[in-house]
Amino acid sequence: MLCYAWSACVFPLGAQTDSVHIMRQAQTPVRTEVSEQTFPLKETAEMKKKPDSLVRVEITTITHFTDTLSIVVSSPDSVQKQREDTIRTDSLDRRGHYIEAHVGASFGSLGYGFTDKENKLDGFVSGLVQLQYAYFFHQNIGVGIGAWFTNATSTAHLGGTYTWDDQEDTDLEQHYTHTSQVVEWDERQNILNVGVPVSLQFQWLNEKRSAGLFAAVGVAPSFAVVNSYKVMKGTVNHSGYYPAWDLTLTDMHEFGDKDYTAEENAKGSLAVKPQVTVFADLGALIPLTKQIDFFVGGYFQCGANDANKSEKHDLGWKDERFSFMEEYTGAYALNSTKSSHPYEAGLKLGIHWHHIKPDKHTTVDYFDYFTRRDTTIELIARQDTIISNRIDTLTRSHIQKAAEEVERFNKIYFAYDSYKLSEEAQNYLSSIVGVLNKVPDAKIAIDGHASEEGQRRHNETLAYNRAKAVAAFLVKQGIAKSRVIVIGHGSLVPNEENVNHELTLDRRAEVKVVQKQSDLQPNK
């Protein structure tokens, strides 16, 4: 292949031109002209034995060459394709749906006081069970709604002295003053509420996702499902002062110490209004898994409105039948009670379950970008003619006959990219050694060839090695090394017998008998 450099070339192409090559490709000779001139020799005794003559042969080989212009053009292009992709859910994304379950234990009370100093109210242990749904529309902020059961329990301690003047004793037909002294009176009160908490929630985790904070504030409409009181112990001392006799009676049937825990009104229901409860939670958030967090913290809740709707009454003697406490409906209904705002404050534990969406499988359209390299081939209308003249003088009989015998089946074939002699090739070469020994004054030319596959330099080396392998075998069989000439043609000279253009027939070496160097074809 020959390359020519042009000083100026303009190619009207829309894409970038990478390289321009001009290649000269040798074609099969179109014709070969042979002229022979015979000069008879003077007969001698030797000639009579060998009727040979000298022949002058002139061979003219006309070979046509065609130049090829090869332009390699690169241009960007793309193809739209589809692939199945899996979009994995980000487990660090805290947004989404939550189910929150809490339990709590606290100190609670009905949250009211007394105007009388002798009476007081103590709190008691309360509990909470809460289940709610939350949605975090932000990584840290969300809203929640749910339901809870919570109770407020108190113990009322009553005391004091209550006096009713100018009471009529029909049995003694006297007016007197009735005095009731509450000595021991403990009353347990309880309200169990069902509520619907609505909250604004906040959560935050540290960078390692190992711990964080959780807080919530909100309101909960609440309704009492259980509201009761029970006198745990209640002792009242009754006495009557009769001014006509300046006498105080304590031992008559309507006077004296009386235990009221067995009375019909010693237990009953409290009159409670629906409440609006405000609440707040604050504590630590500890992730257990990608979906489950553990909450531990404190909570506080308190009724915003007065929960007491009782009809108030006095404590003590009430009716003319001396049946004390006949209208008693609990300390919650005494005139001395203040407004009631039940509250709780305590510890809360909880589990937060975060719904994580499953991985999404989707079909994605994308463009596969690549660079397309196109090669444009043009044939240049120019032909060269190479004429090779060779004039030889040779004895016609024994050398030419040996050459014709050797060249009748002189092609030795090889496997792909190999120069190893097959067993068939070795048998053939062994069979022509005897013929070659009959013309010891003639040289042996071995032409190596390769198919068009592969790079040019590689094919030239491969063709030379094939010829060299044949030469080595002949030398090993006794042919003088000085007689053997090795020529490698690469893939430039096709096989004339290969009419079907089979690549296997181009992987060959050819053995020829020549007399002198001028008979040899140049190494292509």
Parse the chain into domains and list their residue ranges: 1-44+60-82+363-392, 96-361, 397-524
Please tell me the distance from the alpha carbon of residue 29 to that of residue 25, in angstroms, as a whole number: 12
Phi-psi region of 325 (alpha: psi -120 to 50; beta: other; left: phi over 0): left
Task: Give the other-Cβ count within 10 Å of 374's Cβ.
Answer: 12
Measured in degrees and rounded to the nearest 5, phi and psi for residue 432 equal: -100, 0
The CATH architecture assigned to 96-361 reads Beta Barrel (2.40)
- Return the H-helix or E-strand segment holding 462: helix 456-476
Which two tokens mark 261? 């825990």
Please tell me the distance from the alpha carbon of residue 423 to that of residue 414, in angstroms, as a whole number: 11
Contact 164, 316 (CB under 8 A): yes
Q: What's the one-letter identity of residue 473? A: F
Which two tokens mark 155? 């113990």
Helical packing angle, 423-437 and 456-476, nearest 10°: 60
pTM score above 0.85: no
Phi-psi region of 478 (alpha: psi -120 to 50; beta: other; left: phi over 0): left
Q: Which residues pair with 385 in a beta bridge?
A: 64
Superfamily assignment of 397-524 in CATH?
Answer: OmpA-like domain (3.30.1330.60)
Digitized pLDDT (tens) for each residue of the chain, 524 residues in all: 333 333 333 333 344 555 555 554 544 444 444 444 444 434 445 544 554 444 444 555 555 556 666 777 778 888 888 888 777 777 678 899 999 999 999 999 999 999 888 889 999 999 999 999 999 999 999 999 999 999 999 999 988 888 878 888 777 788 888 888 888 889 999 999 999 999 999 999 998 889 999 999 999 999 999 999 999 998 888 888 989 888 888 877 678 888 878 777 788 899 999 999 999 999 999 999 988 999 999 999 999 999 999 888 776 555 554 445 556 788 888 888 999 999 999 999 999 999 988 877 778 787 777 787 777 776 665 555 555 555 444 455 566 667 776 776 678 889 888 898 888 888 888 888 877 887 777 788 899 999 888 888 898 898 999 999 999 998 998 888 888 889 988 888 888 877 777 888 888 998 888 755 444 444 43
Nearby residues of 141 by Cβ (< 8 Å), 6 or more positions away: 200, 201, 202
Please tell me the distance from the alpha carbon of residue 88 to that of residue 157, in angstroms, as a whole number: 64
Nearby residues of 6 by Cβ (< 8 Å), 6 or more positions away: 20, 22
Please tell me the distance from the alpha carbon of residue 391 to that of residue 363, in angstroms, as a whole number: 78
